[in-house]
A and B are shown apart, each in its own frame.
Chain A
């Protein structure tokens, strides 16, 4: 009776391995072997950055990683094209939310603090500024406003 060695077992199981894995085109970090963990993490990071209003380039980078992971999972047979419409719909919805976040953040940055409202110098202040060497009343007003802003900031600590 012939015994089965380790090499024999390896040769017997070789035919069961998915041919695509030996010819995988995806990068190691997109490897879907670990229960699709790469795809799940890429999805989570994409959604997180988009909802937080991260810069456009960063969100696009996350999206490119997600697409690469999904492609690798399909190549390895871990995902089927059946999920494509769901994933594409999710991506479009998240991108729309990201654009709204960026719109809101752009104008939140322009919000004016009431304490920063300009206050015009009195005529005596303007006169003093002109005597001190200011070129015109507008310059006196700007300097006055700058001092006022600095004083307020100092008082606010």
Chain B
């Protein structure tokens, strides 16, 4: 990746250019063109202690089972009422993260047709590719970093901005299977 640089002439404009006459030692990279309708997200990392329900419950469950997921995970999430807020992705060793479950909030934002198509497919195959790639880095950190990740996010490119938060918890098996649960909270739902 090339380092960001500053173009002195761009900073001072054409009026000052003859006065400055400085070589373009630094040059700012033009931002990539925004594809009409492209969905993107801004991500703001938060301390884990900021999490409220249901994400605090998800965090507590992970902390009690950080080495491996409890065999009765489905039952626990159902009984606590968290399951409908959870997106679940799983990867075979050296394989991509694949959607096993999609949170209700996510379905409300992107639609049932999108969700039906995404179930069983890799995250990177999401038609909202830029948004998916931005989230992929967060998913990898939660799984490979061994610590949960809590973010506040704003989705851009939809009919209106969507402000939500997610608590990401992950596990890796000894043979290299990976799994992630994203517990979503969308106050605007």
Total number of residue pairs linking A and B with CB closer than 8 Å: 66
Among listed A18-26, A41-49, A103-111, interface-contacting one: A103-111
Contact across chains for B73 and A117 when beta carbons are under 8 A apart: no
Chain A contact residues: helix, strand, loop or mixed: helix
Of A28-36, A71-79, A94-102, the one with at least 4 CB within 8 A of chain B: A94-102
Residues of B within 8 A of A118 (CB): 84, 104, 107-108, 112
Size of the A side of the interface (Cβ < 8 Å), in residues, is 21
Q: Are A107 and B90 in contact (CB under 8 A)?
A: yes
5 cross-chain pairs, A with B, having the tightest CB-CB distances, nearest first = A109-B74, A112-B101, A103-B173, A114-B116, A107-B90
> In the docked arrangement, what's the CA distance between A114 and B111, Å?
12
**Which B residues between 157 and 189 are near A, CB-CB below 8 angstroms?**
171, 173-175, 177, 179, 189
Most buried by B among A96, A100, A110, A114: A110
Judge whether A111 and B101 touch: CB under 8 Å.
yes
Asked if A112 meets B71 with Cβ closer than 8 Å, knowing A99-B174, A100-B175, A103-B171, the reply is: no
Residues of chain B within 8 A of A112, CB atoms compared: 88, 100-102, 119
* B115 within 8 A of partner (CB): yes
Contact with A along B94-113 (1 / 0, CB 8 A): 00000011101001100010
- Contact, CB under 8 Å: B73 / A109: yes
Which residues of chain B are near A55, meaning CB under 8 Å?
Answer: 71
Chain B residues within CB distance 8 Å of chain A? 68-71, 73-74, 77, 84, 86, 88, 90, 100-102, 104, 107-108, 112, 115-116, 119, 171, 173-175, 177, 179, 189
Question: In the assembly, what is the distance between CA of A103 and CA of B175, in Å?
Answer: 10
Residue of A nearest to B92 (CB): A104
- CB B20 to nearest CB in A, in angstroms, measures 57
Contact between B116 and A100 (Cβ–Cβ < 8 Å)?
no
Shortest Cβ gap from A118 to chain B (Å): 5
| CA distance in complex: A100, B69 (Å) | 11
B83 to chain A, nearest CB (A): 8
Interface residues of A (CB under 8 A from B): 55-56, 96, 99-100, 102-107, 109-112, 114, 117-120, 138
Chain A: CB-nearest residue to B70:
A106
- Given the complex of chains A and B, what is the CA–CA distance between A119 and B112 in angstroms? 7
A96 to B73, CA, bound (A): 20
Question: Do A106 and B69 touch across chains, with their CB atoms under 8 A apart?
Answer: yes
Within the assembled complex, what's the spacing in Å between the Cα atoms of A100 and B92?
Answer: 11
Question: A98 to nearest B CB, angstroms?
Answer: 11
Inter-chain contact A138/B189, CB cutoff 8 Å: yes
A114 touches which of B68, B69, B119 (Cβ 8 Å): B119
Complex contact B73–A120 (CB within 8 A)? no
Is A117 a contact partner of B189 (Cβ separation < 8 A)? no
**Contact A96–B175 (Cβ < 8 Å):** yes
Closest A residue to B77 using CB positions: A110
Are A96 and B71 interface neighbours, CB within 8 A? Answer: no
Residues of A within 8 Å of B173, CB to CB, are: 99-100, 103
Partner of A104, one of B88, B101, B102, B177: B177
Please, which residues of chain B bring their CB within 8 A of the CB of A117? 102, 107, 112, 115-116, 119
- Does A103 contact B179, Cβ atoms closer than 8 Å? yes
